[in-house]
Amino acid sequence: MADIREKEIFLNPYVIQMDKLADSLGHLSNIFLKLTNYRMTLTKEENEDMFRRVTEKVCENCENREACLGERRLNTYHMMYEILCAVEEYGAELNIELKRRLQKQCIMAPRFLRETLETFEGAKQKLVWNNKMVQNREGYANQLENFAKTIRYTTRELDAGIFEDEHLEKKIKNHLRKSGVKMLSSVFYITPNGKYEIHLTIKAAKGHVIPVKELAAEIGGIVGRVMMPEQGERPIVGDEYCTVSCVEGARFHTLQGIARIGKDCDQISGDTFLMADLPGGKKGVALSDGMGAGEEAFRESTMVVELLEELLDAGFPVKTAVQLMNTALVIGREEVRFSTIDVSLFDLYSGECEFVKAGAATTYIKRGKEIEKIHSVTLPIGVIQDIEIDTVTKKLESGNFVIMVTDGVLDALPTGEQDVLMGSFISEVDVQNPKEVAHHILGKVLECSNGLPVDDMTILVIGIWKI
């Protein structure tokens, strides 16, 4: 997104309108950021208000009221301020010297101290809530800015990719007519990696149905490319108009295998995984480890992967999706509840894989007997507002495997030997079935922990092959 020029001249009215929407979101984000800032101390006005409230409660019926709040008012105020400074630095237990001075100066010393501490506690709580509101506003501002960037990126990408070809449109329309298919409209699109997408609004002759797979093959023959129905496309076209999408076939395919076990062999694991076919010829595999173990950790990690799948399927870049999830987990929570996130995003056209990690365990790439490790040193999502996310892209070859694991797998191995042992477990596997690879690794890890898992363990293995 960073390389997208912000100021360009567009003729497409839809792009212009979406740019206006993105600008509005950006302006709203700036407004949020310009509101009240973080405050670490109370203002002079707040201190004076506390003094007024304390003296109204304590001094109302005191025989020394006129003197303490008259000619000695400044001394009384300084005494309260010294108490606040001492409490802030050392806690509620005052030193002997300050207590002696308070008792000498105020005949209502115990009550004055109690009311000062209670009032200060209330003011400090308001300060905490003020800073929490500022943090939430920053979170909302970041989300709005991410939405604005995504809108700009998507509209520019669509505007650059959609093209008109009257000759091709007429050729497809005539060919389909001969097959008993009536075409109402068409949209031609070239993806950023140069692959064709053709979207047709069509219907079959009355009483007939057309398999979409056959239709895509016919379209491929016309355009001179291998075309297939988009993932999740309807299987047939009937005698009512509908829009079907044909995409250029990928060069790679993946197979996945999983092996998992709960803490102490519990049926419920706090680890959750995702395997999804995504737009643009992508395959998304994600693994999340919720804080702790059992049902509560399972709910947390499940929420993370379900939200991630929804964002990725909607077209959000994976790093933006993780940042949005982090903001959603941080905002509005008093307690810290975190989840690791580990994403492998396979490009089935190029064979590249983008690895995105937040607090996740090491990922391993098996290239024959050679093992490559991808580490992460970042925090999990849900801990702090401004999170760092590790990303790296690797080129994969046919027959390579990607092995993703949760912390429980590595923690079961002797400290300092995790990477070496995992590397040897993976290297010695000589099978092509990802499920068998995953179960072999899990079996070896359980041998090191005497067969009893001390934490939830999940191993995902993804193999990639050329078609």
Rounded to whole angstroms, the Cα distance separating 274 from 232 reads: 17
Output 429 or 19, whichever has higher pLDDT: 429
User: Whole-model pTM above 0.75?
Assistant: no
Question: Is residue 405 helix, strand or coil?
Answer: strand
Residue 241's pLDDT band (boundaries 50, 70, 90)?
Answer: very high
DSSP 422-444: HHHHHHT---S-HHHHHHHHHHH
The three-point CA angle 352-198-204 to 5° equals: 135
| Per-residue pLDDT at 3 exceeds 50 | no
pLDDT of residue 77: 84
Angle, nearest 10°, between helix axes 73-90 and 96-105? 160
Report the number of secondary-structure helices (H) and strands (E) in the chain. 13, 17
pLDDT of residue 39: 75
Rounded to whole angstroms, the Cα distance separating 383 from 195 reads: 40
| Per-residue pLDDT at 32 exceeds 80 | no
Region 285-304: mean pLDDT is: 76
Closest C-alpha among 460, 456, 459, 461 to residue 339: 456
The whole-chain average pLDDT of the chain stands at 83
Rounded to whole angstroms, the Cα distance separating 371 from 427 reads: 7
Burial 6-27 (b: 16+ CB within 10 A, else e): eeeeeeeeebeebbeebeebbe
Q: What is the pLDDT of residues 328-362, one digit of tens each?
A: 777 655 565 678 889 999 999 999 999 999 888 99
Work out whether the CA dihedral 102, 105, 110, 116 comes out positive or negative: negative
> Which amino acid does the sequence have at 15?
V
Rounded to whole angstroms, the Cα distance separating 437 from 402 reads: 11
Question: Is residue 43 helix, strand or coil?
Answer: coil
Residue 1's pLDDT band (boundaries 50, 70, 90)?
Answer: very low
pLDDT of residue 138: 77
Residue 7's pLDDT band (boundaries 50, 70, 90)?
Answer: very low
pLDDT of residue 355: 96
Q: Give the end-to-end CA distance of the chain in Å, rounded to a whole number.
A: 31
Rounded to whole angstroms, the Cα distance separating 240 from 273 reads: 38
pLDDT of residue 382: 73
Residues 6+ apart with CB under 8 A from 324: 143, 146, 311, 316
| Per-residue pLDDT at 309 exceeds 90 | no
Question: Is residue 235 helix, strand or coil?
Answer: coil
Q: What are phi and psi of 330, to 5 degrees?
A: -80, -45
Work out whether the CA dihedral 434, 439, 440, 442 comes out positive or negative: positive
pLDDT of residue 116: 81
| Per-residue pLDDT at 139 exceeds 80 | no
DSSP β-bridge partners for residue 390: 357
Q: What is the pLDDT of residues 187-212, one digit of tens each?
A: 998 887 788 899 999 999 888 899 99
User: Considering the chain, what percentage of its residues have pLDDT values greater than 90?
Assistant: 30
Residues 6+ apart with CB under 8 A from 206: 239
- Do 318 and 356 form a contact (C-beta atoms < 8 A)? yes
| Per-residue pLDDT at 90 exceeds 70 | no
Region 158-182: mean pLDDT is: 88
